[in-house]
Amino acid sequence: MPSSEQDARVQRSFKDGDLTAYGTLYLVGTPIGNLDDMSVRAVRILKEANWIAAEDTRQTRKLLTHFDIPGRLVSYHEHNKEKSGESLIEKLLAGETVALVSDAGLPAISDPGADVAAAAIERGIPVVPIPGPNAALTALIASGLPTDRFTFVGFLPREKKKAAAELARWSRHPATMIFYEAPHRVVATLRLMLEAWGDRRCVLARELTKRYEEFARGTLASCLRHVEETGPLGEYCVLVEGAADSGADEEPAAAWWADLSPAEHVAAYEERDGVTHKEALKLAATDRGVPKRELYNAIHQGGRDE
């Protein structure tokens, strides 16, 4: 973590002669369905890179073949990201360029990539984004829901109680929220949202950019009925409008935890079944906008470790 006294480290991605002797790590966006969404620049970078690091090399090989890209592939995924990440950093330190792709969309968004990008930045290696399609933003722009303020939440925890606790945290959130969900969990997730928030505007964006692309625009209840009737088919983004504005003239409603001490706040989360002490700390720290460690110290004052 850089200290506040240190000057910010500036990376000029394209200024001649300003880059290090290290190779560059490119984070390359790839299509989320329609191959025509591949950018000319993405194709060029993949052709020029010494290495292409891919989440699923077989899947990426198909993409490379389609665009006639001969690239050397290495695997980088959730389960080997530590070891493979180190080997990518070594390549970059030796001056080789690495283009990182995920199975679809932008690497590092609900996909591996963030860790190796952070490790590269830490070592002074240039990290350059090659923008491309992303399911969340693609869904948002055509949703009809407010786009001036939005929050990407991504996947909810798999366990029902943890998912419900997470939804409770977002109940008064004023911005449009974007969720990713696996098809077989869409119905259960919509039910949980309905339980947590009551009925609100909701949009299901399915199979974006693909042949059966579909937007179901309605409320949580009507979208739920729609998937129950049609069955969950393909990939979904779930978008839900934020909590209703309490009115410009009214005092903003106090947060439910405003009168609780830090310890009481954490305990309130722990009382929800299935929420561990560590998770409760994280939730309360996010509510209060303070680092988890700070909250932990305030409660335990140097006591037992997490």
Residues that bind ligand SAM (CB under 6 A): 32-33, 102, 104-106, 109-111, 134-136, 180-182, 205-210, 235-237
Among residues 104 and 281, whose Cβ is nearest to ligand SAM?
104
Q: How far is the CB of 155 from ligand SAM (least distance, A)?
A: 7
Task: Using the structure block, give the residue that is written with the tokens 């909590």.
Answer: 243
Q: Least distance in Å: CB of 54 to ligand SAM?
A: 13
Indicate the residue among 141 and 290 with the shorter CB distance to ligand SAM: 141
Pick 181 or 279: Cβ nearer ligand SAM: 181
Q: Measured from the CB of residue 96, what is the shortest distance to ligand SAM in angstroms?
A: 24
Q: Which is nearer to ligand SAM, 27 or 285 (CB)?
A: 27
**Closest to ligand SAM by CB, 112 or 262:** 112
| Smallest separation (angstroms) from ligand SAM to the CB of 208 | 3
Q: Which of 236, 229, 235 has the alpha carbon at shortest distance from 203? A: 236
Q: Which is nearer to ligand SAM, 25 or 109 (CB)?
A: 109
| Residue nearest ligand SAM, CB atom distance | 105
141 vs 255, beta carbon nearer ligand SAM: 141
- Shortest reach from residue 33's CB to ligand SAM, in Å: 4
DSSP assignment of the chain equals: ---TTSPPP---SSSTTTS-SSPPEEEE-B-SS-GGG--HHHHHHHHH-SEEEESSHHHHHHHHHHTT----EEE--TTTHHHHHHHHHHHHHTT--EEEE-SSB-TTSSSTTHHHHHHHHHTT--EEEE----HHHHHHHTT-S--SSEEEEESPPSSHHHHHHHHHHTTT--SEEEEEE-GGGHHHHHHHHHHHH-S-EEEEEESTTSTT-EEEEEEHHHHHHHHHHH---S-EEEEEPPPPP--TTSPPPPPTTTTS-HHHHHHHHHTSTT--HHHHHHHHHHHHTS-HHHHHHHHHTT-S--
Q: How far apart are CB 2 and ligand SAM at their closest, in Å?
A: 27
Work out how close the CB of 193 gets to ligand SAM at its nearest, in angstroms, rounded to a whole number. 15
